[in-house]
Structure 1
Amino acid sequence: MPLWPLAVIAGAIGYGLGRWRRVREERGAAVPAAFTAPAGAAGGFAQVRDAGPAAARDEDAARWDRVDESSDESFPASDPPAY
């Protein structure tokens, strides 16, 4: 039995896995969760966002009240504001 069919199959599998991995990494580098577009470099060490509804990714920022905003500003502190 010739070995070239096995080499072709192995090459196709290797190419497919490499392509799948590259696409998966590109999708993960888009915008980190809960961050707006200028959140810093994806994959960087300091992935933080500014506090407040303007920096949130979700579109319901108009519904934030004083408690929501204070809680967001205090994160990740261990003691949230007492309202």
Structure 2
Amino acid sequence: MALFKLAFATAAAYGLYRYMTRDQKVQRAAFADGEASGGPVEVRNAGPEGMRSDPPQWDKVDEASDESFPASDPPAIPRAS
């Protein structure tokens, strides 16, 4: 009987918690506002526009690296002729 009381108290507490936090907006650390897809796998758009904070510098190598993630190989860096 004590186990049922504990289970009921836990379920009631969880339900109350979910009710109290239902309207809070979830913000992901790496995503700009409106970027999170909400699916099981969240992927943001490439580039500084998809980031929450703007990087101090952004060049072609940074762009290529960001676009290639999560690839297993790093992007190729073009050599100057």
Runs of 4+ in 1 over 4 A off after TM superposition: 14-20, 23-27
2:32 to 20, 36, 55: 36
Paired positions, count:
71
Cα 1:70/1:30, change in 2 over 3 Å: same
Alignment root-mean-square deviation, CA: 3.2
- Which residue is 2:64 aligned to? 70
- Which residue is 1:60 aligned to? 54
Cα 1:26/1:77, change in 2 over 3 Å: farther
1:25, distance to aligned residue in structure 2 (A): 8.1
1:74, distance to aligned residue in structure 2 (A): 0.4
1:32, distance to aligned residue in structure 2 (A): 1.7
Q: Which runs of 5+ in 1 are unaligned?
A: 1-13
Percent identity between the two aligned chains: 45
Determine which structure has the larger helix proportion and give its number. 1
1:77, distance to aligned residue in structure 2 (A): 0.6
1:24, distance to aligned residue in structure 2 (A): 7.4
- Conserved in 2, the CA contact under 8 Å of 1:51 and 1:72? yes
TM-score, structure 2 length as denominator? Answer: 0.57
CA distance in 1, matches of 2:65, 2:22: 33
TM-score, structure 1 length as denominator? Answer: 0.56
Q: Which runs of 5+ in 2 are unaligned?
A: 1-10
